[in-house]
Structure 1
């Protein structure tokens, strides 16, 4: 008898593996649309406007504002990071002084957020003195006054519950004259505080910019 090769059991046939079909609906890097130009230049334009807005407002106030004079006394004459400057503190920066004026109870409503207010000032009786005489605060208003007399000016301030600022607090000294100015200021603040005043311009909106500093009869332009 012829030996028969044993038959191996048949193996089940495996179905072919199917790879997933790529989803052609997903955008490929080459098919993405570029951002429209306005998405890039509009944010840049907004930043430029914000940078220019404050100097432009100050320039308008400088040209169109009304001149007044404020009584002041200097403190902190040197900052190592910024160089020589004077930090100015005004009579109208004193909260208790303003509380005593008509409308001064406005300060009692302060809660947590800084608030804007207006101080109304009138000129001195002696208009052409040298140095000029400071204007006098006569009342306080939480809103911009619309009933000012021809000789009155309303200047806007900010109150944070502790201090009052007008954007007039820092005067940077010219490099070439800093020693001269410092010597004048240091002497005046001890001997004749009333001779140390600042000329300011205030526009119709109450915004103010410093123009010049008076130390006795000497005038230093900002």
Structure 2
């Protein structure tokens, strides 16, 4: 191989890596850039993790979704939770194994209960500096609101968390 071909191969390899990294970034940020914004009621569960950093672990009203009407719910199975707006906040209406018509969010079943399933959506951790994470925990003890953007395929991204009586808490947000 000549020197010119080696240089071209090296440039092509570097460009391919850059394109792949940009593609991964675009895939992760797509819901934030193009998704529909919904507001979900939330409460903090756990403020920090020694290995992962400071964050507020969030639990949503829609984390407990109705039991799917067909099929046997299994832990780890992907589900689509249909959402309906009631005032400012969105609520879970129905759980399906395929995308329903209208607005929905995609998640995975984490537990099966009597009459409902616990669903995790990938928006359960809000990362922030230590002081902000502790302040968020203190302010949200009685609950708050999370602004979430949902892409057309149901993928969700956490945008901000706010208590119901104060300014929005914006920070590092969800870490991929």
Q: 1:200 aligned to 148, 157, 160, which one?
A: 148
Aligned to 2:125: 170
TM-score normalised by the chain length of structure 2? 0.73
* TM-fit CA distance, 1:144: 1.7
Task: Find the aligned partners of 1:51 and 1:39 in 2 and give their Cα distance.
Answer: 18
1:156 equivalent in alignment to 2:111: no
Q: Is the 8 A contact 2:149 2:158 kept in 1?
A: yes
RMSD: 3.0
Task: Find the aligned partners of 1:115 and 1:53 in 2 and give their Cα distance.
Answer: 26
* TM-fit CA distance, 1:181: 2.3
* TM-fit CA distance, 1:120: 0.8
Task: Find the aligned partners of 2:154 and 2:137 in 1 and give their Cα distance.
Answer: 30
- Larger strand fraction of residues: 2
Aligned to 1:119: 81
Q: Deviations over 1:18-49 (max 9, x none)?
A: xxxxxxxxxxxxxxx89x96998888777655
Name structure 1 gaps, 5 residues minimum: 1-32, 128-133
Q: 1:198 to 1:43 in 2, by over 3 A?
A: same
1:98 equivalent in alignment to 2:61: no
User: Which 4+ residue blocks in structure 1 deviate beyond 3 angstroms?
Assistant: 36-54, 103-106, 160-163
TM-score normalised by the chain length of structure 1? 0.60
Q: 1:220 aligned to 148, 169, 174, which one?
A: 169
